Structure 1
Amino acid sequence: MINNKSINLITNKTDSGKRIDQFISQNTELSRQRISKLIQDGYVSVNEEVITIKKNKIRGDIEKIKIILPKLIEDILKPENISLNILYEDDYILVIDKQSDLVVHPGAGNKTGTLVNAILHHCGKSLSGIGGHIRPGIVHRLDKNTSGLMIIAKNDLAHNNLSKQFMDHGRNGDLERIYDALVWGIPKIGSGKIETQIRRNDRDKTKMMTTNSMKNGKLAITTYKVIEKIYNHKNDPLISQIRCKLYTGRTHQIRVHLDYIGHPVICDQKYGKGFNTKLKSLSNDCQNQLKIDRHALHSSKLSFRHPIGNKPMTFESELPDDLKLLKNMLSGI
């Protein structure tokens, strides 16, 4: 039974051994993200006993699970009239081509001016309460200075379905995430697979790093293909345009992996910073025209199945003007 305040569920023999969060996900339209938050905040009880650990398992034949839905918090996030390049929209999803220099959601140091604030303004009251707030469902993220394709869920039903697709990473479905990057140098092997463990950098918590430890790291898999090679006037390898496909979704994954193989993303201030001195070889006039202050990474293709109709959908986006200009400028060295 579902009402505006709570959801009441009853388990049976076949549910014994299931995790509580998995059972709730299978029997409601709540997103996994919201379920985790509700459990963590003490809004879920089993046989009238509050639980706060989502990995707890169903033990008996019949157990009563109650999920309290707290009042939605409307005043934390404010709508803001920020321009968005919307490629597709219906009652369930938005597909946008995100501009660089746009943070996806509010956080420390970014309370306003984010993609979430922009979507709140665009969608108004059509959004449901994902995560306990009236806010759009951010299914996946792009770094502030990564441009390109993103999908946003407009309600819990769409969010739950899309989250499952992204968690599967296309292993058993149609999800595909392709990125184009401009990198320093030209890989000797034109295409390949990069498979490492990735974890938080010990010295700088804002960075990630590869590691040999399977205990401390998380598996990260990226494939790449060189699609354009650019040489300088001496015919030495200068830069290349690389197309990457994600098979996992680790923080900064493509940037870390391209740096790992010795070809960091151009203008990346966190990874391969030493290579950015090459930009100084441009004339002063070119440097003034360029003025790029973001890394050269763009989400160029996104494929998935519509969360309601199950229809395959594919969107593509070419390199934005600032990255085209960067490539043209460097081609003239």
Structure 2
Amino acid sequence: MSTELLTADEWAAGQRLDAWLSNNFEELSRSYLQKLIREDRVFVNGRTVKSNYRLKGGEEISLDLPEPEPLDVEPEPLPLDIVYEDEDLLFVNKPKGMVVHPAPGHPNGTLVNGLLYHCGNSLSGINGVQRPGIVHRIDRDTTGLLVVCKNDFSHNHVAKQLAEHTITRRYRAIVHGVIDEDEGTVDQPIGRSRTNRLKMAVEPVNGKPAVTHYRVIKRFSQYTYIECRLETGRTHQIRVHMTYLQHPLLGDPLYGARKSPYSLTGQTLHAGVLGLIHPRTEVYLEKEAPLPEYFQHLLEILP
């Protein structure tokens, strides 16, 4: 068993405990967290509470996580938006709310479950039975393109490109506040937050190099629509770097310091463009995924 310790920030005030935990533990489903609360594995200021407990902000919360049981990953006929596919790899446009690979609380309904049904045994095995074909991932509530490898040859080739930072990854995002400069670069190392283990943060001493290039597409009265190009690929990189600039992503439940006036599920972040050298042909391959409907609607109604 492992214990996670965290503090509810001021923006958590008024939120249900189970909903707040679900936003902070992206790989765990809300129903699984409710089960842990019922089993008295969650403590708020040292005492057990119910799932509908309303946070006031500032509470110390501890969560006792039982050892994960081995997952038997089953193929599922899930609707996958496959943008490109050949014998070596495929590009899939992941929807909001879909977890990439199974984890406690998310044993099914994940991208991997759908890939196993679609591809059968034609997936790389380097990352093990729970992550077949997965070379990189995006967060549950981030939409957009992922490359999936169908054999170990392509997996090794793509992983090498990721390590050498030669893969093209361009994201669209909406951030709080108006960014004055038309473009810029954040070159700040990212590591596990020293104050909240569930967060990543700019960590000058213990962080790993992280570089994000951004440019303004459109300014609104209180928000900015931007494109971000990743030079590196650290966990939550865009979310952390834009928060570092004091322009957190609209709707981000983990890093956003302000409540969203819109009904959103997670951060407004879309992996729109993905490009790499094809492992077999050695020709550059680039694909684009259109903005999801909720994102387009926001751009139409933002003041």
TM-score when normalising by structure 2 = 0.73
- Whichever residue aligns with residue 196 of structure 1, its letter is Q
Equivalent position of 2:25 in the other structure: none
1:34-71 alpha-carbon deviations (Å, 9 max, x no partner): xxxxxxxxxxxxxxxxxxxxxxxxxxxxxxxxxxxxxx
Equivalent position of 1:59 in the other structure: none
In 2: Cα distance, 1:181 partner to 1:154 partner: 30
Corresponding position: 1:316 with 2:300? no
Corresponding position: 1:100 with 2:96? yes
Match of 1:164 among 160, 163, 168: 160
Could you tell me how far 1:132 is from its partner in structure 2? Answer: 4.3
Could you tell me how far 1:247 is from its partner in structure 2? Answer: 0.9
Equivalent position of 1:294 in the other structure: 266
Equivalent position of 2:201 in the other structure: 209
- Alpha carbons 2:102, 2:130 under 8 Å: kept: no
Corresponding position: 1:230 with 2:214? no
- Alpha carbons 1:127, 1:135 under 8 Å: kept: no
Corresponding position: 1:187 with 2:159? no
Q: Per the alignment, in what secondary structure is the counterpart of residue 212 of structure 1? A: coil
Superposed, 1:54-73 pairs within 5 Å as none
More helix by share: 1
Superposed, 1:117-266 pairs within 5 Å as 117-133=113-129, 136-170=132-166, 175-213=167-205, 216-231=206-221, 238-266=222-250
- The percent identity for this pair of structures is 41
- Alpha carbons 1:136, 1:155 under 8 Å: kept: no
- Whichever residue aligns with residue 165 of structure 1, its letter is Q
Give the length in aligned residue pairs.
Answer: 234
Equivalent position of 1:60 in the other structure: none
- Whichever residue aligns with residue 307 of structure 1, its letter is P
- Alpha carbons 1:177, 1:246 under 8 Å: kept: yes
- Alpha carbons 2:124, 2:155 under 8 Å: kept: no
Could you tell me how far 1:135 is from its partner in structure 2? Answer: 5.7
In 2: Cα distance, 1:294 partner to 1:102 partner: 12
In 2: Cα distance, 1:260 partner to 1:159 partner: 33
Corresponding position: 1:81 with 2:99? no
Q: State the structure with more CA Rg.
A: 1
> Over aligned residue pairs, what C-alpha RMSD do you find?
1.7
Equivalent position of 2:60 in the other structure: none
- Whichever residue aligns with residue 114 of structure 2, its letter is A
User: Residues 317 and 128 from structure 1, CA distance in 2 versus in 1: closer, same or farther, beyond 3 angstroms?
Assistant: closer
Equivalent position of 1:48 in the other structure: none
Q: Per the alignment, in what secondary structure is the counterpart of residue 290 of structure 2? A: coil
Q: Per the alignment, in what secondary structure is the counterpart of residue 158 of structure 1? A: helix
Q: Per the alignment, in what secondary structure is the counterpart of residue 210 of structure 2? A: strand
1:95-116 alpha-carbon deviations (Å, 9 max, x no partner): 1111110000112322211111
Q: Per the alignment, in what secondary structure is the counterpart of residue 225 of structure 2? A: strand
Equivalent position of 2:252 in the other structure: 268
1:171-206 alpha-carbon deviations (Å, 9 max, x no partner): xxxx21100101111112110110111111123222
In 2: Cα distance, 1:97 partner to 1:263 partner: 26
Unpaired segments ≥5 residues, structure 2: 1-69
Could you tell me how far 1:128 is from its partner in structure 2? Answer: 4.8
Moved more, 127-136 or 238-247: 127-136
Unpaired segments ≥5 residues, structure 1: 1-73, 232-237, 280-286
User: Residues 149 and 205 from structure 1, CA distance in 2 versus in 1: closer, same or farther, beyond 3 angstroms?
Assistant: same
1:66-121 alpha-carbon deviations (Å, 9 max, x no partner): xxxxxxxx982110111110011111101111111000011232221111111001
Q: Per the alignment, in what secondary structure is the counterpart of residue 302 of structure 2? A: helix
Q: Per the alignment, in what secondary structure is the counterpart of residue 109 of structure 1? A: coil
In 1: Cα distance, 2:131 partner to 2:185 partner: 37
- Whichever residue aligns with residue 284 of structure 2, its letter is P
- Alpha carbons 2:101, 2:131 under 8 Å: kept: no
